[in-house]
Amino acid sequence: MWWRASSYLLLLLTLISSVEASDLDVVTMRNGDVHNGNLSQPYFDLQTPYAALRIPYAVMARLQLGEKGESDQIETISGDRFTGDLQHGEWMMLRTLDPELPLDSTGISEITFAAQAKRAAVTGGSDQVIAHNGDIFSARILTTDLLLTGEEGIKLIPASQIATIDLVIDEDDGSLLARVRSTDESVYLGKLPRSQIQLKVHDNKLTLDLNKLSALQFGVGGRQPQLRHLYRLSVGDGELLQDRMRDGRFAPILRKLPGGEAVRGDLQGDGDGDEQPATRPKLKPFAIGLHEVTFQEYDLFAQATGRDRPDDQGWGRGYRPAVNVSWEDAVAYTKWLSQRTGQRYRLPTDAEWEYAARGGTESRFWWGQKVELDMANCEGCGSLWDGSKSAPVGRFSANPFGLHDTAGNVFEWVADCWNDSYADAPEDGSAMQTRGCGKRVIRGGAWSFPPHEIRSANRWRDFPSRSSDDTGFRVARDL
């Protein structure tokens, strides 16, 4: 009979070995224990700031449970992110050899769900929604048209002609302001009489208050989402890269630039003295942030290092550029990224920043010699956010290098010490450093400055320990 027992044992071992790790959910407990199996849970209920949602198990990719007082977060296999308070207390895990395991959610730190190829995919829809808290998800927008009250009266815009809608609350009267970009690239600014919108996401039919939302992207006709880079991790572009950190999270998306001879300084003759003499440094290849570092990205650093989160001025966090960070804070963030990724992150040099901001152009602004409507966020640029607050990153057209917000929105710290001219600037575009460096350079202008200050050549300065609501930064990385 020994051979029969041996056969049963061999069959059992074969069945066990056929279960791959990717077939199992992985539950990490706060005490360090790790459990493998499959959660017997058809859906997950999450109360978000904008709606109560029910997310099917079939679309779950990752669940992070916050410490006491912190929010929980769900990520789906299609890249959606939902933040709020999970409404479940206990779950049951089914395991291959061991008995069923009850799990108390208060003891769980994180759940990574089985590979998506092993489960039926459930999609949320072809439109996209971005909430003020930074949540972003696919949906099917059910509202059929839009009434917009602007300077030219009331305009009816059919949903089939809408590409994106940006939403801002007017701080003077509390009304809802909108910027609508149509499928033919026309832009309309005005007020919205409608305060709610209907949509469907993962079988949830919702009516959402528009003042809880930051932007809507309509996926009409199979167009690629304009804001795709904000939430798709597989960027699909050979000139883009995104490093993974040790904990599985991702660093900011970067664009690789070839370097070579660059333009630096005032070429039109109407700039400031510190922009002279114009030079042409020769730069090595490097990578630079697709946009300014966001609160969402910076807050991970603050949480991991025990720092206070910078004040968002009440404008909202999420995809807004992180402001109220000093030069010292920005440098500390790059060092933390370097440790987490194994790559050398840093602030761009002044020469690298201008090369990236110009995008190969030699005009005042990367788009031309004159200010154009709705190309940037500044005091007088004709956007929803002018002179009022920062705009979420990526809401304006990219420059020829594919970079966003290199003109206006917020000033950006660079590596250099302040110097009154380029007379002694290094020919290789490295950072200008002086002994006892009292001030550091900031570039790009801001929402609170006039158009003349968002020129590609414009420079300003500030104390490295000082922070401001109009100053942030973007990162660079060696290649």
**Domain locations in the chain?**
23-118, 127-225, 233-479
pLDDT at 234: 38
* pLDDT tier for residue 449 given thresholds of 50, 70 and 90: very high
> Any bridge partners for residue 241, and if so which?
254
| Residue 378 clears pLDDT 50, i.e. is over it | yes
pLDDT at 220: 43
Question: Cα(466)–Cα(468) distance, rounded to whole angstroms?
Answer: 7
Question: Cα(60)–Cα(119) distance, rounded to whole angstroms?
Answer: 10
Average pLDDT over the chain, rounded to an integer: 85
pLDDT at 22: 60
Encode 347-370 in three state secondary structure.
CCCHHHHHHHHHCCCCCCECCECC
Neighbour count for residue 300 (Cβ, 10 Å): 19
Closest CA to 444 of 434, 454, 432: 454
pLDDT at 182: 85
| Residue 448 clears pLDDT 50, i.e. is over it | yes
Between β-strands 162-169 and 176-182, what pairing exists: parallel, antiparallel or unpaired?
antiparallel
| Residue 19 clears pLDDT 60, i.e. is over it | no
Please check whether residue 251 is in contact with residue 337, taking contact to mean a CB–CB distance below 8 angstroms: yes
* pLDDT tier for residue 53 given thresholds of 50, 70 and 90: very high
Higher pLDDT, 17 or 328: 328
CATH superfamily of 233-479: paralog of FGE (formylglycine-generating enzyme) (3.90.1580.10)
The whole model's pTM is what? 0.83
